[in-house]
Amino acid sequence: MIDRRDALAGVVAMFGASLFAPIARAAAAQVTPISGGPPSSPVFTAQQRALMTALSERVMPTTDTPGAITAGVPAFIEKLLADWASPDDRKPILAGLDAIEARAQADYRVAGDKATPTQQDALLTLAMEDKLPGGKGFFEKFRQLVITGYFTSEVGITQEREYLPVPGRYDGAYRYSQVNKVFSS
């Protein structure tokens, strides 16, 4: 079966030069597995962790396949930021979460993790459009963390994509209409 390190190689190719530094460091490392155990130290406050978890599910929501929470993306993000990121790498993520939390309190009078999915989408859109302090820097890095965590998880590899450990025969006339999912191997 494919492991997280092999899947990271594909993610590195997908994001290219704009890859968030901790993801690149983790992909290049040859020793410590990313998914091995809890983070070496906590990165988030309880409120930041709750907001990060809720927002990760908005980036990769549950549909006919499991979403970010089921795939373990929040734990992956905290592990990656604790063990593979420098303090400077963490700053835009933590500042972005704080800016989103402040805006949720100001606009909706509720904690960001308790906001409705529509409100959370609006908050993420404000970040994406750089209408929050440090919003664009936060959004791009956060989105990469969520996508990387999701598509390198067992759920992302085996349920979201079509996993073929040993691909079948070559068929040059394979009908495109028969393709249900992107293949991973």
Which of 6-20, 41-55, 65-79 shows the lowest mean pLDDT across its residues?
6-20
Residues 127-185 pLDDT 10s: 999 999 999 999 999 999 999 999 888 888 777 766 556 556 666 777 777 776 665 55
Residue in the structure block whose two tokens are 């906001």: 115
Closest to 76 in 3D by CA, of 39, 46, 47: 39
Average pLDDT of span 75-99? 93
Q: How far is CA 41 from CA 5, 78, 111, in A?
A: 22, 9, 24
Above 80 in pLDDT, residue 100?
A: yes
pTM of this prediction? 0.75
Q: Which residues have a Cβ under 8 Å from the Cβ of 152 and sit 6 or more positions away?
A: 4, 7, 8, 11, 34, 76
Burial of 29 (0-12, 13-18, 19+ CB in 10 A): middle
Domain ranges within the chain, ordered by starting residue: 4-184
Which of 9-18, 21-30, 141-150, 151-160 shows the lowest mean pLDDT across its residues?
9-18
Q: Are 128 and 136 in contact (CB under 8 A)?
A: yes
Q: Are 65 and 159 in contact (CB under 8 A)?
A: yes
Average pLDDT of span 87-105? 96
Write down how long the chain is: 185
Q: How far is CA 114 from CA 162, 176, 180, in A?
A: 34, 42, 35
